Amino acid sequence: VPVSAMVGASGDALLGEAKNQATAAAARVSLTAERQPPLVQGLVKSVVSSTTNTMMGGVRNQLNAAWVSEVVNVYRQSLSGRYPMSPGSARDATLDDFGQFFGVGGVMDSYFRKYLQPYVDTSASTWRWQPGAAQKLGINAGVLQTFQRASAIRDAFFRSGGTQPTVRFELKPIAMDTSITQFLLDLDGQQISYDHGPSRPVAMQWPNPGSIGVVRLSISPPSASGRSGVTLDGPWAWFRLLEQSDLTAGNAPDRFNLRLRVDGVSISYELRANSAFNPFKSRVLSGFSLPERL
């Protein structure tokens, strides 16, 4: 079977078939070469090497064809130019599209497992090719950064598995400006109210099941300009709010300091993620980029 005809085959199958074909061709030519003068033998070996390279190039072309059809085209249609993949965009990616692409068993995960996983060492802090794999596949090592970033996104948003993003955390009010007497945060129907008294952590979840995707901040009394709150809507409203706020790392991978503002007045929270693998870390999403070719 020609390598070019093995559409949809796994990376192992593609490489195995290319190797088998190259080995068989080399054996046939070598038998003929043994009966030829030394000069001719050298030419024959050159032809064998060229043939092997051509077959391995066929593997690379097949991997790229699958990459474009199975990954790049899906990304273009559902996520490219949309928030959160494009932070400045007013258009939101749907949570279903985000999950189908980055979730467990989603587009990125499936491609990696099907074509590349046996050839990648994921045990180090920076992923790398197994010895000899880069030469076999002909794929730049920089491509692994894309898959490692996708893995980090999957770990942060899909801790429960599947393709439905779920992020659990706690918020505890710490302090707020003395010019206001009450600050209310409403995240998809989950409310935290603070009035300068004792506080306790409140469990939160994004997205809240059955939510309509609305985040509201309310202050009392209104600010000097008469403003009493802020409202953001859409499936990514919570993360848009975090981008507009001050979110800094705490003293542990799952701890963060959050300051929310409404027209110049603010409240500070301690944010405790349910895992050290969480989406509140810097650049988990914004650091992702998808190459057109491998």
Name the helix (H) or strand (E) containing 168: strand 167-176
N-to-C CA span, the chain: 24
68 CB neighbour count, 10 Å cutoff: 14
**Tens place of pLDDT for every residue, the chain, 294 residues?**
454 554 556 655 555 554 555 455 445 545 555 666 665 555 555 554 554 454 455 678 889 999 999 999 999 999 999 999 999 999 999 999 999 999 999 999 999 999 999 999 999 899 999 998 877 788 887 899 999 999 999 999 999 999 999 999 999 999 999 999 999 999 999 999 999 989 999 999 999 988 889 999 999 999 888 899 999 999 999 999 999 999 999 999 999 999 999 998 999 999 999 999 999 987 788 778 999 998
Model pLDDT for residues 210-233, shown as the tens digit of each residue: 888 999 999 999 988 889 999 999
Q: Pick from 225, 261, 219, 218: which is nearest to 243 by CA?
A: 261
Q: Pick from 163, 162, 133: which is nearest to 63 by CA?
A: 133
Backbone angles phi, psi at 206, to 5 degrees: -125, 135
User: Where on the phi/psi map is residue 194: left (φ > 0), alpha (ψ -120 to 50), or beta?
Assistant: beta
Which structural domains are found in the chain, ordered by start?
Answer: 3-157 (no CATH), 167-273 (2.60.40)
Model pLDDT for residues 270-291, shown as the tens digit of each residue: 999 999 999 998 778 877 899 9
Torsion over CA: 95, 96, 102, 108 (sign): negative
